[in-house]
Structure 1
Amino acid sequence: MKQPWQTAWPERISYGLSDAADNLVFQMMTTYLLFFYTDVYGLSASAAAILFVVARLADVVESLLIGIMIDHTHSRYGKSRPFFLWYALPYVIFAMLTFVTPNFGATGKLAWAYVTYLGLGFFYTAVNLPITSILPTMSKNEHELTLLGVIRQFFGSSVQIIVAVFTLPLVAFFGHGNQQLGFLLTIILFGIISLALIWNTFFQVRERFSQPERAHQSLSEVWGMLKKNQPWIVISVVILLYWLTTAIKNQTTIYYFKYLIHNENLVPIVNGFTFAALVGVVLIVRASRRIGKKRTMLTGILVAASGQLILASGAELQNLPLIFGGTLINSVGNGLIIGLVSIMIADTIRFGMSMGIQAEGILASTDDFGVNVGLGLGGLVTAGLFHLSGYTANHAQNVATQHMITLNYAWLPLALYVVMFVILLFYNETRLLAAINDQK
């Protein structure tokens, strides 16, 4: 029997705005934090690389810890929902502190970066992971869950684009040539908006479908389910590879245009073409109904890889039309990929429930785990290769560094799309849907 729809538009919009709120800060971290550390704050590329490694090792633990905390939360608000209330304010405070530039010595500046960035990583996980874990509890309707996931990604991608396009102009506007002040005032603006949106999500969304007898199982029982949840394992690897790809390319964009094109003012323009990701996100509802979620994501990877190949050709030739066109096509594919992530994780949570375990916290932690580890490895790869090639901030770069920048911006992401496609072929969607439907 067809399931009725349980959510109304105010709740759907509020759910989607939660991802918009997180991305106001998250996109700043993804795209500009490495540049901020090396060219504004004054850390060396090697020090930044080590910081990213340490932070990502911490995030591995944090993702699992927050997932366990969600699965063991007993409150009148539910398991996931109260995290929006409890952790939004410290998340925003640490976001602002991360872009403060105290007048310390080299050791003090590095210590400040560690404390603020590690704190930001923990609280980001605390407010972002519940967005994924709460989804399968909001409705039992397959198409409604897809719609909610698409709305979430539409708002999240929209804000990613807004931040990517307008951050540097805002930094210039607020700073009047002082990038330290400009970055700080920009993150304060983003943080205030983020706080309001996260708290709005808490007040508007509801957890409707939780099964108490399955909701608080022991870790040993959950671990047994995880080992049998093959779709969850596959999508976890895909998520990690996607964010690794995104981090490597996004973090290198500003370096490519600053040191190879010699015009960093083009960064907001090229990032503007990522608006096409919204096209991919909107296509998900119809495409997933017709060909299924797995084939829709595979199509997205092919489209993204095709765009990346065009971009790579443009990067080698320093041809802006090719770079812009490749970015546009790549972004459509990325929209199809990332728009399906939370939806497919929700399916793996429901698949786990078919095995008698409702562990939405731990299963959803794979999303933040993939984001954090992918970003960390991306930062390590980028900063580490720059260091090995002799990168020097705010100076003309040697030939080896120029080649390394092009490699990171163009060719490594293309290779990772190929690996991503192969891994996703092992996702057993038929078995997953059969198990879910047998529960109804």
Structure 2
Amino acid sequence: MSKNKPTRKEIFAFAVGDGGCNLVWTTIGSFLTLYYTDSVGIAAATIGTIMLLSRLLDGLSDLVMGGIIDRTHTRWGKARPWILWSAVPMGLGLVLMFSIPDSLSNNGKIAYASISYILMSAVIYTACNLSYNTLLSVSAPDPKDRVTMSSMRFFFTMCTVLFINYSCIHFVEKFGWTGMSVIFGGLAIILLLITFFGTKERVHIEQNIVPNENKQNATSSFKLLFTNKYFILLAIIFVINYTILGVNNGLRIYYAKDVLGNITLMGTLTLCFILPKLIGNLVYPYINNRLGKWKSMMLGYVLELTGLLIMALSDTSFASAVIGLVLLGIGGIPHTAGLFAMVADVIDYGEWKTGVRLDGLTNSVTSFGMKVGAGIGSALVGWGLAWVAYDGTLATQTSETIEGIKWVFTFVPAGLIVVGLVVLYFCNLDKIYSQIAEGLAKKRKLI
């Protein structure tokens, strides 16, 4: 195997790292609102505002962290050391978020929630997840290898999400919210350390590419970044996709509990959404070879929109929910592996156009989009629950509230997908990538 190609062990070590990230972030996205509303007693509208404000701040921290990664040079590389340094804080941060003291006043609980949420999302998770996403572009120079690594990554991600959604409530019932977070946080630390010790950076080290981004000051780097039109378009797509996912993750448990009337269906609904992605990520490299990233992502949006409209316009039933979520899952396949692999293409495009390679800053689009999108999604969940007059103290919600939850769960993501289709239409890098690859190959021979 070429020294420029990651081994199977490296691909595995890379892939499990996102399991570590999701043991933290999926748990937060899927269960933190429920913990705040039903266990801590914080108002849903307040939760939405906290999450949105912290994520907007978080978006700025992503750009700062991207610049820091680009200027990090150690014997481990530029991205791997940050995975090592942030692994333990990730686990501890999760425990802090699910351990609000009962003795605090209501304002004290709000302050605790705000501080712990901002610390986790804007500092710890930013450092960990942005460096993890950057690792893809610096460890795999070949776009086909990036798709393979990204596909395996999301296979493990979906397995982790299923584990979380099936086991979280059971752990909470047995050990409490803090006990659950200790278990998930410990597992996250282990998986992130596997990624650090089992991977290798190549782009700068083995190809002898001059790290010319260091010749740029921070202002010049940001100017170059925002001249890359595909960075801006991809940032919008990331925000849209993770807003949709934030709404889906945040409201799915309410949909099971209140709309379908059975909270134990949460795991099954999640399985319908995740299993197609789980299987699809194993075959996506073949789909990518046939359709390319752009065409498959356009088709994915159409399938997702179809699934949401089926759930929205048909009579409420478990069957319609299954059909809708399965289509949502199938449509989401290229928007996981394909979207993250496209970020590396955007990095190559920037280097081709400007001569400066900005791995960390460009990868900030992933962390920025994920967290701002998830923040907007979480805010929409909180505000949506407030708008439909959700009352966590009631055993059964009113019919108007139940119908409102269904409306927010389906029509809000559907509208976002329509916007996403328009933006993605102008983000077709596949049609020019052969020129990019040829230009970079010539440039690197001269170095």
Same fold (TM over 0.5): yes
Find the partner of 2:318 among 317, 320, 324. Answer: 320
What amino acid is aligned across from residue 407 of structure 1 in structure 2? W
Q: How does 1:199-214 map to 2 (within 5 A)?
A: 199-210=193-204, 211-214=209-212
Unaligned runs of 5+ in 1: 176-180
User: Alpha-carbon deviation of 1:69?
Assistant: 1.2
Q: Which amino acid aligns with 1:153?
A: F
In the alignment, what sits opposite 1:124? 125
8 Å contact kept, 2:293–2:334: no
Question: What is the SS of the residue equivalent to 1:292?
Answer: helix
TM-score normalised by length of structure 2 = 0.92
Tell me, in whole angstroms, the C-alpha distance in 2 between the residues paired with 1:3 and 1:425: 36
Q: CA RMSD in A?
A: 1.8
Matches within 5 A, 1:174-323: 174-175=174-175, 181=176, 183-210=177-204, 211-216=209-214, 217-273=216-272, 274-314=274-314, 317-323=315-321
**1:358 aligned residue:** 357
* Matched pairs, number: 430
Q: Which amino acid aligns with 1:140?
A: P
CA contact (8 A) 1:293 1:340 kept: yes
Match of residue 342 from structure 2: 344
Q: Aligned equivalents of 1:256 and 1:93: distance in 2?
A: 30
Paired with 1:260 and 1:287, the residues of 2 have a C-alpha distance of 36
CA distance in 1, matches of 2:158, 2:337: 9
Aligned ranges for residues 58-77 of structure 1 at < 5 Å? 58-77=57-76
In the alignment, is the contact (CA less than 8 A) between 1:257 and 1:267 conserved in 2?
Answer: yes
Match of 1:178 in 2: none
2:83 and 2:153 map into 1 onto residues whose CA distance is: 15
- Greater CA deviation, 72-81 or 385-394? 385-394
- Structure 1 length normalisation: TM-score? 0.93
> How far has the Cα of 1:399 moved from its partner?
4.3
**Alpha-carbon separation, structure 2, partners of 1:225 and 1:418:** 30
Shift of 1:289: 1.1
- Residue of structure 1 in register with 2:98 after alignment: 99
CA gap 1:292/1:387 in 2 versus in 1, 3 angstroms? same
Q: 1:252 offset after TM fit, Å?
A: 1.1
Matched residue, 1:431: 432
- 2:320, 2:388 → 1: CA distance? 27
Give the letter aligned to residue 255 of structure 2: Y
Task: Assess, with a 3 A threshold, how the Cα gap between structure 1 residues 145 and 422 changes in structure 2: closer, same or farther.
Answer: same
Structure 1 position 166, deviation (Å): 2.1
Letter aligned with residue 165 of structure 1? Y
After superposing on structure 2, the runs of 4+ consecutive aligned residues of structure 1 that deviate more than 6 Å are none
Residue type at the aligned position of 1:392:
D
Measure, in 1, the Cα distance between the counterparts of 2:372 and 2:380.
Answer: 12
Q: Distance in 1 between matches of 2:310 and 2:167?
A: 25
- Closer/same/farther in 2, CA of residues 321 and 160 from structure 1, 3 Å limit: same
Q: Secondary structure at the match of 2:332?
A: helix
Q: Aligned pair in 2 of structure 1 residues 154, 37: CA closer, same or farther (>3 Å)?
A: same
Any conservation in 2 of the 1:279–1:335 contact (CA below 8 Å)? no
**Partner Cα distance (2:169, 2:434) in 1:** 45
Amino acid at match of 1:30: G
- Relative to structure 1, the CA distance from residue 213 to residue 9 in structure 2 (aligned partners, 3 Å threshold; closer, same or farther) is closer
Q: Answer yes or no: is the 8 Å Cα contact 1:5–1:144 preserved in 2.
A: no
Q: Is the 8 A contact 1:168 1:268 kept in 2?
A: no
- Residue of structure 1 in register with 2:377 after alignment: 378
2:169 corresponds in structure 1 to 168
Distance in 2 of aligned mates of 1:22 and 1:223: 27
1:279 and 1:332 in contact (8 A); partners too? no
* 1:213–1:49 distance in 2 versus 1, CA, 3 Å: closer
Per-residue CA deviations over 1:371-406 (Å, capped at 9, x if unaligned) read 111111112122113223322213143444333211
Are 1:136 and 1:350, in contact at CA under 8 Å, matched by a contact in 2? no
For structure 2, the residue ranges without an aligned partner over 5 or more in a row are 442-447
Q: Distance in 1 between matches of 2:3 and 2:77?
A: 22
Deviations 1:44-88 (A, max 9, x none): 112212211221122112211211110111212111110011111
- Cα separation, 2, equivalents of 1:264 and 1:65: 41
Q: CA contact under 8 A between 2:90 and 2:188: conserved in structure 1?
A: no
The 2-side partners of 1:329 and 1:388 are apart by 28
1:4 and 1:107 map into 2 onto residues whose CA distance is: 56
Instruction: Provide the residue aligned with 1:139 in structure 2.
Output: 140
